Structure 1
Amino acid sequence: MGRSGSTLIERLLGELPEVCSVGEVVHMWRRSLVDDEKCGCGRPFGSCDFWHEVGVEAFGGWDRVDAHELLALQRGVDRTRYIPWLICGRAPAALAARVERYTDFYDRLYTAVARVSGCSVIVDSSKHASLAVCLRQRYADRLRLLHVVRDPRAVAYSWGKHMVRPDATPTSPEQEMARYSPSRAAVQWMTQNSVLAELARRGTPTMRVRYEDFVADPAREFRAIAEFAGGTGATPIGPDGAALLSPGHTVSGNPLRFSTGAVAVRPDVSWRGELRPRNRIMVSALTFPARRRFGY
């Protein structure tokens, strides 16, 4: 789930020579193709040479993609309500056909990214468990799932913050990052993490990483993550715990995607003192069954 520290891990993976990190592709179809928001390199999507080349390779040019039609298709597939059918392999024929068509866009995009970047591993940091379920239909065990989980009380606190989106354009419908109430964040935490755990149980190659373990020893944790992802090369984390980030081409995600240079990796525990006691109790109660499962 978002606000779990996954953007930093994604950026670090993108520093490995075999890996191309592309951000949250699930939001690309609206934020990049319609609103022309900034790429991680700082340029508007439509002015980014990397994504221009990818668009030509994948679709013959982005003008060949009907973004609004694709967004309508997304609404008919990439939703939590469809997960029970898809995860059990019992989707009605119409839904299965939509999934096939929807994931074809992703497959063509990932293939083009691999060709343009020269990388063998593509990291999509989308946070929709429903998208992971859809991609599993196409890729089976070729899909590897890095399941990043964080204490739900910390996640709920982060989702309540006001945060301006630096990549938003005047036409973007979301000028701030989305906000959830503590109760909604707790339900989302339960749902998203439970679905990802179920995918692992059903055989999807999965590595689970707790945010708290990663920030406690980022170099050690990242070495294990890189091995799981199939990447090699020097760990981009110094002995002082600072991560070294170079510019990338991520299409959406946390504002950290624009950061470059040395970035300190340290735990954020502000929620312990700033999350209201009643909200802390409510989130703890709502997430109790799965929270214990993940070690919280």
Structure 2
Amino acid sequence: MSFVGTVPAATNGPSTPLRVLYIMGHSRSGSTILNNLLGSHQQVVATGELVNLVERGWNKHLPCSCGEPGDLCPFWKEVRRHWGELAGGEDLPRYVRLQRRFERTRNIPLVLLSLYRRDPLFNEYVRSTTLLFTAIARVAGRDVVVDSSKNPVRALALSRAPQLDVTIVHLIRDARGVAWSFNRSSQPFAKTALSWIAITLISTLVIKFGHKSLSLRYEDLARFPRTALGRIQPLVGLSYDDVGAFVEAGGKIASVHCIAGNRIRMMGPMHLQLEENWRSALPPGDKRLVWLIAGWLLRRFGYRRS
């Protein structure tokens, strides 16, 4: 049985769309930190890379940040049970196939086409994912769900879900910092720079579709969290003043039930600090290479060569 049927009302009432904060951008850009920051609000539940929940968390036992495998974590077990009840059954392999069809970057032409025609498979994907967000909100008892999946194609698809009120935060980090982070796992700098360009351009395209969105630099978030969070709060209708003031004063960001994401998600509460080791650790030749490839786009977001 597939996840189809009538989408139940969100937690706020029968005609109120469920609010979703979606973190979009390239990997190694600080999305885990922003996810946990946003999840510090008492009305918000942060989920990590929700895109990986079904295939990697439930099917392949990827651990939740609480340390339990995703299929055994009490929170995610309850979400799965509630999701199945809302949908009248579950067919996880079918849902994973829908994700692969409508969330892969190479399939963006298909997604764009599906937005403007009556594609029953796309409608099923949207309904299924809306049910998942609804189950998470109800199990957590919160009004807003944070999804830090980063994938811009997923952001585009979710933004067209009629019963989700999606705010997109395009999180950007200096490509040289991203390249340094990936190089520690032996990914070539040039490959990372080209990937950063592709994801950033697609993310910019998604924002131009006119959704509630903003671009936010990781470096600004780490230096001035209160100001950065203040830019988000009017879009989602929540005040983050207390959260921003707390972390600026040295308070630790609490851990949440995250599926997938940076390894720091497993390290418990953390301090917010700017990670710019690449400035001293990245060899000058590699810095020049990344800037040569991506500098034209980095300048658009206020980054400088030196």
Q: Please say which of residues 230-239 and 50-59 is displaced more in the overlay.
A: 230-239
1:104 is matched with which residue?
127
Counterpart pick for 2:215 among 208, 215, 218: 208
For the 8 Å contact 2:253–2:272, the answer to whether it is kept is no
TM-score (norm 1): 0.83
**5+ residue gaps in structure 1?**
163-178
Residue 18 of structure 1: which of 43, 66, 78 is its match?
43
Contact residue 64 and residue 257 of structure 2 kept, 8 A: yes
Residues 222-257 of structure 1 show CA distances to partners (whole Å, capped at 9, x for unaligned) of 233344333336216537543423342112211222
Structure 2 unaligned regions, length at least 5: 1-25
Describe the SS at the equivalent of 2:48. Answer: coil
1:137-156 deviations in whole A, cap 9, x for unaligned?
A: 32498211011101111111
- SS of residue paired to 1:76: helix
- 2:8 aligns with none
User: What residue number does 1:244 align with?
Assistant: 252
Match of 1:31 among 22, 43, 56: 56
Contact 1:219 1:241 in 2 (8 A): no
What is the alpha-carbon distance in structure 2 between the residues aligned to residue 285 and residue 97 of structure 1? 44
**Residue 61 of structure 1: CA displacement?**
9.4
**How many percent of aligned residue pairs carry the same amino acid?**
28
Using the TM superposition, name which of 73-82 and 202-211 deviates more. 73-82
Q: Does 2:204 align with 1:197?
A: yes
Superposition RMSD in Å: 2.7
* Counterpart code for 2:108: I
Deviations 1:66-114 (A, max 9, x none): 4333333322221222224534766676xx4333222332211100111
1:254 aligns with 2:279: no
Q: Which amino acid aligns with 1:22?
A: T
Q: Does 1:183 align with 2:190?
A: yes
Q: How many Å separate the matches in 2 of 1:289 and 1:88?
A: 30
User: In the alignment, which of 216, 219, 225 is matched to residue 226 of structure 2?
Assistant: 219
Alignment of 1:83-232 (within 5 A): 83-87=108-112, 96-139=119-162, 142-162=165-185, 180-232=187-239
Q: What is the aligned residue count? A: 277
Deviation at 1:124, TM superposition (A): 0.4
Question: Structure 2: how far apart are the matches of 1:140 and 1:46?
Answer: 27
For 1:247 and 1:81, locate their aligned partners in 2 and report how far apart those are by CA, in whole Å. 33
Change in Cα spacing, 1:46 to 1:82, as seen in structure 2 (3 Å) is closer
Change (3 A) 1:209 1:243: farther
